[in-house]
Amino acid sequence: MSGFSLLVEALEHLDITHPTTVQLQTIPKVMKGHNILCAAETGSGKTLSYLLPVVHRLQAEKDSEMYGEGAHKISTLVLVPSRELAEQVAAVSRTLCAPFGFLTRTIQPFDPTVIQTSTGIILYSHRRRLCLYHL
């Protein structure tokens, strides 16, 4: 089954058959590599607006064998302001990524201070730090 077919099947599993207005406006821009800032009401499709292009890119990289079998690397980092939103985004991501064998993980604690360095990103929170190098 092709990557596109797997993605369509995952969307059908989420009962999604047509893009929302938000998705129609944002997905083409994200696919072209543009940064977006999207403010819209709950349920408008913001999460899929960025997750679909991410999964599409990861699948394209996998198909072109840009990374070897069993490679474990962080490919995408999504920062959200709360634990509840992280769990919601992770649930959608798991559904979209499962057919391709991609993993979705959440990292705690939340409400970090983010510092970007030339070698990676460091998240500081409550005297703990998490270094995410080689992103």
The residue behind tokens 């996998």 is 62
Around Cβ 23, how many Cβ atoms within 10 Å? 21
29 and 94 co-located in one domain: yes
pLDDT class for 11, splitting at 50, 70, 90? confident
Q: What is the mean pLDDT of the chain?
A: 76
59 and 74 co-located in one domain: yes
What CA–CA distance (Å, rounded) separates 129 from 122? 7
15 and 74 co-located in one domain: yes
The residue behind tokens 């979209």 is 96
100 and 115 co-located in one domain: no
97 and 134 co-located in one domain: no
Task: List, in sequence order, the alpha helices (H) in the chain.
Answer: 3-13, 21-31, 46-63, 83-97
Q: How far is CA 13 from CA 19, 51, 52, in A?
A: 15, 15, 14
98 and 112 co-located in one domain: no
Which tens digit of pLDDT belongs to each residue from 98-119? 888 888 887 765 455 554 544 4
- Please give the residue range of the domain that contains residue 77: 3-104
Question: Residue 24, CB half-sphere, CA atoms under 13 Å: how many?
Answer: 4
90 and 112 co-located in one domain: no
Domain tally for the chain? 2
| CATH number of the domain within which 46 lies | 3.40.50.300
pLDDT class for 24, splitting at 50, 70, 90? very high
What CA–CA distance (Å, rounded) separates 23 from 106? 24
The percent of residues in the chain predicted with pLDDT above 90, rounded, is 16
Highest mean pLDDT among 21-35, 65-79, 82-96: 21-35
